Amino acid sequence: MESKDQQSDDFGTFLQSVQRAVKTDEELKSSSTLRIMSMLSKIGEVELVQLMTVVEMQWDDFSQGINSLQSAGLVQMAETGKGGRIKLTSDGLNWVNALTASDDKDE
């Protein structure tokens, strides 16, 4: 008899995750994640508090944006005494590069 707790599946986890993410991020101000990523690509690794002051966002949007980016593997946090340092992952950097390249083409 097959166990109901099987760890492997072909794409079931993806489908559940994308459905959850679409609903969860629905209320997230859509451009906030882009602003965070674009700022991180300019300033590199930075303290979370410092990032918040430069992106000029509401705390809720900022916090939710960071959480979404972190769980999607686009930013990476390291614990420090001041609340944590944050930087783009290589995936995040690829995204920002693609976005910048498309902006350049559009211009």
Site for another protein, residues 43 to 102, rule: CB under 8 A: 68-69, 71-74, 80-82, 85, 90-91, 93-95, 97-99, 101-102
β strands within 1-107, DSSP E: 46-47, 75-78, 85-88
Q: Residue from 31, 58, 60, 83 that binds another protein (CB under 8 A)? A: 31
Nearer to another protein, 28 or 39 (CB): 28
Dihedral pair phi/psi, residue 33, rounded to 5°: -65, -40
Q: Could you tell me the smallest distance in angstroms from the CB atom of residue 5 to another protein? A: 12
Q: Residue from 1, 2, 22, 107 that binds another protein (CB under 8 A)? A: 22
How far apart are alpha carbons 74 and 17 in whole angstroms? 16
Alpha-carbon distances, residue 22 vs 14, 68, 78, 92 (angstroms) = 12, 11, 27, 19
Number of residues interacting with another protein: please give it, by CB under 8 A. Answer: 43
How far apart are alpha carbons 67 and 32 in whole angstroms? 12
Q: Which residues bind another protein (CB under 8 A)?
A: 7-11, 13-22, 24-26, 28, 30-31, 33-34, 68-69, 71-74, 80-82, 85, 90-91, 93-95, 97-99, 101-102
